[in-house]
Amino acid sequence: MEQEISGVLIIDKPAGITSHDVVARIRRLLKIQRVGHFGTLDPFATGVLPISLGKATRFAQFYLKSRKTYEGSICFGFATDTYDATGTPASEPVPEKPEKSEIERAFRDFTGRIQQIPPPFSAKRVGGVRAYKLARLHQPVTLGPVEVEIYALELLQYHSEDGVAGFAVECSGGTYVRSLAYDIGRRLNCPAHLASLRRTAVAEFHERRSATLSRIEEIVREKTLAQLLVPLEALLPECHELIVRGREEKNVRHGRQFELAQFIRPERGQKSNRTPEISVLKILNADRRLIAIARHVSGGIYHPDLVIS
């Protein structure tokens, strides 16, 4: 069965389970072994979790730094040890809450490239040990700052009475929204934690195409999985495509590097030896089936790094 299923399912993950739990459930449901995901989602968070099946599991490397969008809420008044609502209060309650204008100004300050320290309860390694394991043992956790990018950060609503601010954020892969909430609280001199979080998109995978686990179970029983499965050819939609035939296709399938210029006919007024600079190429055969992903080597030379048999 594994030979017949390759692609991505966009799961709407419920709160209370881990990303690994979802992978295990899909593995049992479809009775296949090669199942993975593109980007961990914290247990208390909900929303988009792309689950890769079969040959699609090899595409995780291309989604490590993908943009992600979230909607959530920040509770001002006290911080927690996990930086979110699942943790233990780590500060005394502060009765005075920030003004809406102050939060909006802080949001602007945190937009762009910033240095962010991951939360102690995270999967980052400290001396070869996961940080969260040390934090659970109440051992000191020292993590260095990491550069991340906040492309957009918008205040959606604010209830000054209880100090809860609804927000939307688009950020680079590797960003901890929990740390963002914590750091904004520190900037405003009002301890804060992430009260809720829902991921609405990962790269090209959006919640409008997502399905709950119960819905996945239904379509498996109905044998209509294909209607929700994102095929390999639809992955990495922003990458340029190259169609190969005959001997060229055979060479790509054997992992042999090639020169892009030999596949491109120059347009009128364009020099024949001018090759566009493209970092990654999707290679398709004459039937428009994806057969490889090639990376730029140098000049016009590309190498098929991922060959799909």
Q: Known catalytic residues?
A: 42
* β-bridge partners, 295: 280, 303
> How far is residue 143's CA from residue 131's CA, in Å, rounded to a whole number?
8
For residue 177, which of 157, 145, 148, 206 has the smallest C-alpha distance?
148
Classify residue 168 as exposed, middle or buried by CB count within 10 Å of its CB (0-12, 13-18, 19+): middle
Classify residue 143 as exposed, middle or buried by CB count within 10 Å of its CB (0-12, 13-18, 19+): middle
Residue 108 DSSP symbol: H
> How far is residue 274's CA from residue 300's CA, in Å, rounded to a whole number?
9
* β-bridge partners, 307: 292
* In contact, 199 and 47? CB cutoff 8 Å: yes
Residue 104: alpha-carbon gap to chain centroid: 26
305's torsion region: left (phi>0), alpha (psi -120 to 50) or beta?
A: alpha
